[in-house]
């Protein structure tokens, strides 16, 4: 089928099925439950144990849009992208056994990156459970450590309550993936159906009550600070706290740095935004973590990629940690003031209590580091005088031509770090990447899901040549479902980040990192996706223009410098103060 | 410093909850030395009593991660002196040895009691701290011990006052919905 110039197809109607019905099958109860939750998009792949559910779906094609992926892992990443761009819960269908186990990577990814997702898997009939039946795996046992919650349902009457609980748990508190495994007999059997959304579980309190003493203590520390510093994490985006965060920073004159998943919460151009934290982040945000006197960590969990050696991390600072997940408080960095709260609620409560300040000298100190980084690193990367294309100049070009308004979906590796450093974000939730898991193969399916979740937005996936080959079969989904995503492969014929480490720490012994790649343009065209390859500096402008002007999906392969390194860099095990510029 | 701690966890009745709890200890390489679980006075709420050798710092983090599980009400770490606890041991010895005067004395001295007597064997029960149970085991060994079995720890927290009420309140709230 030839790719057509259209956005993803929308359901023809949005009429919802009644939330009460008599004598329907468990399979139909699944679909009606999803409709009752407002689900209009499902990413999935059918198979023996989930066939009754797919059969029931057939009657709801006008209400629920099913996107047939090419591999179940793709379904999970697509659901993640969809959830992150739309703010809704991503929904996945898969069959038992291999279908279910193929979800594992995406579920684990969603778990560490707090992405709301409900996976529904078919399971062998209850009578066969535990007998090593055909396509039986203990998906509950397998996904126990990587789901926020999971449940196996063996009776049709338990389906609606299980799905109601699943949605409530997935999207409340610190969001996460949930799995509902439904045996085939429960899908076939008949039940009376009534859907009651879940809003209470007696052992679960997702939204902590705001503790005014904690807020007052935080305000006191901020008002006493000479060099206060905000670290913005994914929790800011998840709680919709972007405006509250900026208002607080503006009133109290506090610089804001961002974690990888916090990117896009604050526009890159904001005068108080000082850059990106972590192993390959900007120079001054890392250095100044060890110079501030009060560190205000908002919705972030002190990942080791941000802290480096914890024993050398922000020892001088009084730490205020605003965090919805109590288990994250004091887990890595001891908080002097722990604020166990939703980020938005906490920041809004803090705003009237903080003094108006400027901290000009402190802010200026960031600019010194920026200058150093620009001279030593950025200048050469953005405006190289010779050699092959750099990743930075490609990203900056895309950033300019999309005016920072595209949803940027990055895969994992050098290109991810470069994109995070050089793309200039303007709107919230426009950075979608695999942070905690670092899952190669994430970007292509995630971008596909992001585009379905926000069809009005330009979605640009930035993918390395290695990553692309992990999930490239999703080009088939992109073609079949007419998803107009833009795909940029930054091809250096290497597993670039591993090669960089081999160069720096393994004596340039490039063990199994060089790639002999296929013809990506031919591959794209084989999937009826328009494509082009460029390799010289004077072609890049026109190529990006052509890609963005193209209606529908487009793949642009850019051949970049083969042995480019990403600096600055905090070597593994070093403190963030030991960040290297070359 | 690594020492013995008691961890108590209040949970909902749910298949697999033991697995969900123990895997958190496993991830941090903490060995569980005993685990006792039973339903509490509140229907549907279970209490796990877990003893481990570890450090306070590690366990405070483990308890936080346990509490993150949806079906967990609360989890606590207790120092040795914060709990009143007992363990129970059963000892099976050959009945012919019962005629031995020393055995009767031994049972009395240890505050143990005989649970059952058959033609072949006698089962003796004793409650106490682990050291006492082991001490009696040593004393019985010369008389032909056939089998020995010991429970995990059962504990009551000295400072717990309102948890019972807390759980009852939660149950009432659930009933209202």
pLDDT tens digits, B86-145: 999 999 999 888 777 788 889 999 999 999 999 999 999 999 999 999 999 999 998 889
CA distance A294 to A226: 8
DSSP per residue over A264-325, as a string? Answer: TSS-TT-TTEEEE-STTS-HHHHHHHTT-SEEEEES----HHHHBSGGGSSTTSEEEEEES-
CA distance A514 to A278: 26
Q: Supply the pLDDT for residue B175.
A: 67
Residue A327 contacts B, CB cutoff 8 Å: yes
ipTM: 0.90
Q: What are chain B's domains?
A: 3-78 (3.30.70.260), 84-150 (3.30.70.1150)
Question: In angstroms, what CA-CA distances link A198 with A152, A170, A172?
Answer: 18, 11, 11
CA distance A277 to A275: 7
Residue A518 contacts B, CB cutoff 8 Å: no
Decide which of A347 and B164 is more confident.
A347
Q: What are chain A's domains?
A: 22-193 (3.40.50.970), 212-366 (3.40.50.1220), 388-559 (3.40.50.970)
With an 8 Å Cβ cutoff, are A144 and B11 in contact?
A: no
Q: Could you tell me which chain B residue has the CA closest to the CA of A202?
A: B170
Counting Cβ atoms within 10 Å, is residue B114 exposed (0-12), middle (13-18) or buried (19+)? middle
Residues of B in contact with A202 (CB under 8 A): 12, 73, 170-171, 173-174
Q: Could you tell me which chain A residue has the CA closest to the CA of B167?
A: A202
CA distance A391 to A283: 19
DSSP per residue over B20-75, as a string? Answer: HHHHHHHHTT--EEEEEEEE-SSTTEEEEEEEEEE-HHHHHHHHHHHHTSTTEEEE
Tokens of A530: 């328009």
Residue B150 contacts A, CB cutoff 8 Å: no
Question: In angstroms, what CA-CA distances link A151 with A107, B18, B71?
Answer: 15, 14, 12
Q: Is A442 an annotated catalytic residue?
A: no
Substitution target in B68, B170, B171, B176 with the highest count of A β-carbons within 10 Å is: B68
Interface of B with A in 40-79 (CB under 8 A): 60-61, 64-65, 67-68, 70-73
CA distance A420 to A407: 12
pLDDT one-digit tens code per residue, A126-183? 999 999 999 999 999 999 999 999 999 999 999 999 999 999 999 999 999 999 999 9
Q: Could you tell me which chain B residue has the CA closest to the CA of A150?
A: B70
Q: Supply the pLDDT for residue B163.
A: 72
Question: In angstroms, what CA-CA distances link A46 with A41, A58, A92, A135, A344?
Answer: 15, 12, 11, 13, 40
With an 8 Å Cβ cutoff, are B12 and A203 in contact?
A: yes
Torsion of CA A52, A53, A56, A57, to 10 degrees: -140
Decide which of A493 and B43 is more confident.
A493
Residue A326 contacts B, CB cutoff 8 Å: yes
Q: Supply the pLDDT for residue A16.
A: 59
Tokens of A267: 């526009």
Q: In what order do the strands lie in the sheet with A117-123?
A: A65-68, A41-44, A90-94, A117-123, A177-183, A149-153
CA distance B8 to B35: 10
Candidates A302, A305, A301, A303; CA nearest to A324 is A301
Say whether A10 sits in a helix, a strand or coil: coil
Residues of B in contact with A140 (CB under 8 A): 16
The pLDDT > 70 percentage for chain B reads 95
Q: What pLDDT band is residue B59 in, cutting at 50, 70 and 90?
A: very high
Q: Supply the pLDDT for residue B164.
A: 74
With an 8 Å Cβ cutoff, are B23 and A329 in contact?
A: no
Counting Cβ atoms within 10 Å, is residue A27 exposed (0-12), middle (13-18) or buried (19+)? buried
DSSP per residue over A183-218, as a string? Answer: EHHHHHSEEEEE------BTTB--SPPP-HHHHHHH
A355: left (phi over 0), alpha (psi -120 to 50) or beta: beta
Q: Supply the pLDDT for residue A106.
A: 98
Candidates A324, A256, A319; CA nearest to A284 is A256
With an 8 Å Cβ cutoff, are B70 and A169 in contact?
A: yes
- HSE (CB half, 13 Å, CA atoms) of A25? 19
Q: Supply the pLDDT for residue A3.
A: 46
The pLDDT mean for chain B works out to 91
Give the angle A342-A348-A354 at the CA atoms, nearest 5°: 125
Local confidence pLDDT in tens for the 582 residues of chain A = 444 444 444 444 444 567 888 899 999 999 999 999 999 999 999 999 999 999 999 999 999 999 999 999 999 999 999 999 999 999 999 999 999 999 999 999 999 999 999 999 999 999 999 999 999 999 999 999 999 999 999 999 999 999 999 999 999 999 999 999 999 999 999 999 999 999 999 899 999 999 999 999 999 999 999 999 999 999 999 999 999 999 999 999 999 999 999 999 999 999 999 999 999 999 999 999 999 999 999 999 999 999 999 999 999 999 999 999 999 999 999 999 999 999 999 999 999 999 999 999 999 999 999 999 999 999 999 999 889 999 999 999 999 999 999 999 999 999 999 999 999 999 999 999 999 999 999 999 999 999 999 999 999 999 999 999 999 999 999 999 999 999 999 999 999 999 999 999 999 999 999 999 999 999 999 999 999 999 999 999 999 999 999 999 999 999 999 999 999 999 989 999 999 999
Q: What pLDDT band is residue B176 in, cutting at 50, 70 and 90?
A: low
């Amino acid at each position: 089928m030839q790719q057509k110039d259209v956005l993803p197809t929308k359901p023809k109607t949005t009429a919802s099925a009644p939330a009460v019905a008599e004598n329907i099958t468990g399979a139909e109860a699944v679909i009606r439950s999803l409709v009752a939750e407002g689900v209009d998009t499902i990413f999935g792949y059918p198979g023996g144990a989930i066939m009754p559910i797919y059969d029931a779906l057939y009657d709801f094609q006008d209400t629920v849009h099913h996107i047939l992926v090419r591999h179940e892992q793709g379904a999970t990443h697509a659901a993640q992208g969809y959830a992150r761009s739309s703010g809704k819960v991503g929904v996945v269908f898969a069959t038992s056994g291999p279908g279910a186990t193929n979800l594992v990577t995406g579920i684990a990814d969603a778990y560490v990156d707090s992405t709301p997702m409900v996976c529904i898997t078919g399971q062998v009939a209850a009578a066969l459970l535990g007998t090593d039946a055909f396509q039986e795996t203990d998906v509950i046992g397998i996904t126990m450590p990587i789901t926020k919650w999971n449940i196996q349902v063996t009776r049709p009457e338990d389906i609606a309550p299980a799905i109601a609980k699943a949605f409530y748990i997935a999207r409340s508190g610190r969001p996460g993936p949930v799995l509902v495994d439904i045996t085939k007999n429960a899908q076939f059997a008949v039940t009376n159906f009534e859907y009651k959304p879940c809003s209470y579980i007696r052992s679960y309190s997702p939204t902590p009550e705001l503790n005014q003493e904690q807020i007052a203590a935080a305000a006191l520390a901020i008002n006493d600070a000479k060099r206060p510093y905000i670290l913005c994490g994914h929790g800011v985006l998840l709680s919709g706290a972007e405006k509250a965060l900026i208002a607080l920073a503006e009133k109290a004159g506090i610089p804001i740095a961002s974690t990888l998943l916090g990117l896009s919460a604050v526009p890159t151009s904001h005068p108080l935004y000082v850059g990106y934290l972590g192993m390959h982040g900007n120079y001054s945000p890392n250095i100044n973590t060890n110079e501030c006197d009060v560190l205000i960590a908002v919705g972030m969990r002190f990942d080791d990629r941000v802290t480096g050696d914890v024993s050398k991390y922000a020892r001088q600072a009084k730490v205020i940690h605003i965090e919805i997940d109590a288990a994250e408080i004091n887990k890595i960095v001891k908080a002097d003031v722990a604020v166990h709260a939703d980020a938005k609620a906490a920041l809004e409560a803090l705003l009237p209590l903080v003094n108006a300040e400027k901290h000009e000298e402190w802010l200026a100190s960031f600019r010194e580091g920026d200058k150093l980084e620009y001279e030593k690193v950025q200048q050469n990367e953005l405006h190289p005088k010779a050699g092959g294309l750099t990743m930075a100049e490609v990203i900056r070009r895309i950033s300019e031509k999309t005016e920072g308004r595209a949803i940027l979906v990055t895969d994992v590796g050098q290109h991810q770090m470069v994109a995070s450093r050089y793309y200039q974000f303007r709107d919230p939730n426009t950075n979608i990447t695999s942070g905690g898991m670092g899952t190669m193969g994430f970007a292509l399916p995630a971008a596909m899901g992001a585009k379905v979740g926000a069809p009005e937005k330009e979605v640009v996936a930035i993918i390395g040549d290695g990553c692309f080959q992990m999930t490239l079969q999703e080009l088939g989904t992109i073609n079949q479902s007419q998803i107009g995503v833009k795909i940029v492969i930054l091809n250096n014929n290497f597993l670039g980040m591993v090669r960089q480490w081999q160069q720096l720490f393994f004596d340039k012994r490039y063990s199994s990192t060089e790639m002999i790649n296929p013809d990506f343009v031919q591959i794209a065209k084989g999937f009826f996706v328009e494509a082009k390859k460029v390799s010289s500096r004077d072609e890049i402008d026109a190529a990006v223009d052509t890609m963005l002007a193209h209606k529908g999906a487009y793949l642009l392969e850019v051949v970049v410098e083969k042995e480019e390194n990403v600096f600055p860099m905090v070597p593994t095990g070093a403190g963030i103060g030991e960040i290297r510029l070359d | 410093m690594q020492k013995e701690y008691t961890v108590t966890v209040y949970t909902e009745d749910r298949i697999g909850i033991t697995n969900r709890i123990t895997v958190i200890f496993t991830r941090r390489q903490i060995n569980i030395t005993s685990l006792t679980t039973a339903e509490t006075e509140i229907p549907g709420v279970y209490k796990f009593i877990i003893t481990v050798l570890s450090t306070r710092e590690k366990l405070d983090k483990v308890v936080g991660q346990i509490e993150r599980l949806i079906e967990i009400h609360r989890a606590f770490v207790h120092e040795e002196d914060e709990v009143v606890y007992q363990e129970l041991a059963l000892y099976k010895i050959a009945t012919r040895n019962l005629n031995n005067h020393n055995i009767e004395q031994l049972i009395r001295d240890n505050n143990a009691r005989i649970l059952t007597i058959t033609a072949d064997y006698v089962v003796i029960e004793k409650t106490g701290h682990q050291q006492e149970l082991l001490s009696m085991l040593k004393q019985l060994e010369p008389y032909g011990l056939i089998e020995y079995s010991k429970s995990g720890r059962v504990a009551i927290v000295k400072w717990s006052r309102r948890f019972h009420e807390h759980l009852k309140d939660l149950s009432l709230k659930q009933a209202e919905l």
